[in-house]
Amino acid sequence: MDISELKLRAWDKLENKMVDVAMVDIFGGFVIDGEEFKERRHVELMRYTGLNDRNGKEVFEGDIVASEKYKGSVQYSNGYLDYRVYTTPEHCYFRLSELQPIEVVGNVFEHPHLLAKEEK
């Protein structure tokens, strides 16, 4: 991903759906899908990590990814200035770039059950 390229998507809290972000209004709102204006408090923004999964799908913050051994949610770590995958039920984390190959299996908003602790 080029440093000038910034891709965003958002979880629309009012409509409970994932939407593409066409433009960001720096005065507090967002233009979603090129048409509809949403206030910042009604969306959860997620950045593209610059990585794709093994199927070519773009990986965003909030995605749930799976590797051979682990499954977890993608989050940006301000302390490390990179993306981490926080796993369950192990409660550990890995650099996203170290878990390749991965597959996006869902996201934390539409598929939270994928992160639930498995019963044994």
Whether residue 45 contacts residue 76, with contact meaning beta carbons closer than 8 Å, is answered with no
For the residues 1-21, what does the mean pLDDT come to?
Answer: 84
Looking at the predicted structure, is the pLDDT value of residue 120 above 60? no
> How does pLDDT run across 90-116, given as a tens digit for each residue?
678 898 988 889 999 999 999 999 988
Which CB contacts under 8 angstroms, 24+ apart, belong to 16-23?
16/109, 18/107, 18/109, 18/110, 19/43, 21/45
For the residues 48-52, what does the mean pLDDT come to?
Answer: 94
For the residues 69-89, what does the mean pLDDT come to?
Answer: 87
Q: What is the pLDDT of residue 118?
A: 57
pTM of the full predicted structure? Answer: 0.86
Answer whether residue 30 is part of any domain.
yes
Number of domains in the chain: 1
Q: What is the pLDDT of residue 30?
A: 78
Q: Which of 32 and 46 is assigned the larger pLDDT?
A: 46
Residues in the chain: 120
What share of the chain in percent tops pLDDT 70? 92
Answer whether residue 2 is part of any domain.
no
> How does pLDDT run across 61-76, given as a tens digit for each residue?
999 999 988 899 999 9
Give the structural domain span for 45.
8-115
Answer whether residue 3 is part of any domain.
no
Q: Which of 120 and 31 is assigned the larger pLDDT?
A: 31
Answer whether residue 120 is part of any domain.
no
Answer whether residue 1 is part of any domain.
no
Answer whether residue 47 is part of any domain.
yes
